[in-house]
Amino acid sequence: MMAGSQPLIALQSAQNSAGIQTLLDAEREAQKIVQQDRTKRVKEARSEAQREIDEYRKQKEEEFKKFEAEHSSGNKKAEEEANKEAEAQLAEIKVAGQKSGDKVIKDLINAVTDVKPDTCLHVYFIVNQQSLVRDVQTDNHQVHYWEHSSIDSFVVREPMVLGHESSGVVSKVGSKVTTLKVSDQVAMEPGIPCRRREPYKSGKYHLCINMAFAATPPYDGTLTRYYRLPEDFCYKLRENIPLKKGALIEPLGVAVHVVKQAGVVPGNSVVVFGAGPVGLCTKYVPRPV
């Protein structure tokens, strides 16, 4: 029995091996088909996603072009209106200058040659004749007047002298002036309140809505030979303070006020934007001496 059954067992083993191999081959083929199908689906999905991205980008580009066209036309219209307004203001200024040009020139000549102190508490001082520019500072809003002839509601309608951060030498004094004399060197405060309203009476005179401020229409500034100020708005300089530094007292006062308003204390870090007279003074005020 044993001898007769051996060939049958060997045959069955061979058949089983062939069947297993067939199954393995079929499995590999199935995996290959699945992988090919998966690769195809991934490629199709990627292609579809790319198409959607391209369509979305195209849509947004068209929307942006439309948005840009609408707003560009709006900006262009605003620029045209601004140019028309500026031209109208320039024309108005030109007409005003033609009408009153002779008077302005005459007044300027009188300001230089005919200084007559009145009986009020006024001080007339002369800006250092050696160098007007050296002892009169200017800032951006003065340049804005020069270039654009207006700031907000303040419009230059007639020729106007610039300058408001100044120091000078007293040339003549009114009969009631008691704290200053001729040849004293002074720093000036450029804004004079009306002295009637509550801000002045409460000590906040710089908030007066009727402030007469140097180089702010219709008031001339200090870049002239003579300038008149009330006695209590002139500050006598010590002998060791030159006029050049005296002209910086006004922006220095602004810087001190800014630092106080900001509540700067030792240990704080401070950043200052702008490098004009006020900006530079503000930079140094918080620093220890």
CA atoms of 141 and 218, how far apart (whole Å): 15
Contacts of 181 (CB under 8 A, 6+ apart): 170, 173
Query: Regarding the domain delimited by 116-243, which CATH topology (the fold level of the hierarchy) does it fall under?
Result: Quinone Oxidoreductase; Chain A, domain 1 (3.90.180)
Query: CB–CB of 116/174 below 8 Å?
Result: no
Whether the predicted model's global pTM rises above the 0.85 cut: no
Mean pLDDT is lowest, of 1-5, 132-136, 256-260, for 132-136
pLDDT digits (tens, 9 = 90+) for 80-96: 776 777 677 667 766 76
Reference 229, options 135, 136, 128, 124; nearest CA is 124
Tell me which H or E stretch contains 9.
helix 2-113
Strand (E) positions, 122-200? 122-126, 136-137, 150-151, 154-155, 165-173, 185-188, 191-192
Check residue 130 and report its DSSP letter. T
- Give helix 277-284 / helix 249-262 axis angle, nearest 10°: 60
Domain boundaries, the chain: 60-114, 116-243, 248-289
CA atoms of 89 and 148, how far apart (whole Å): 10
Question: Which pLDDT value is given to residue 166?
Answer: 86
Question: Which pLDDT value is given to residue 66?
Answer: 78
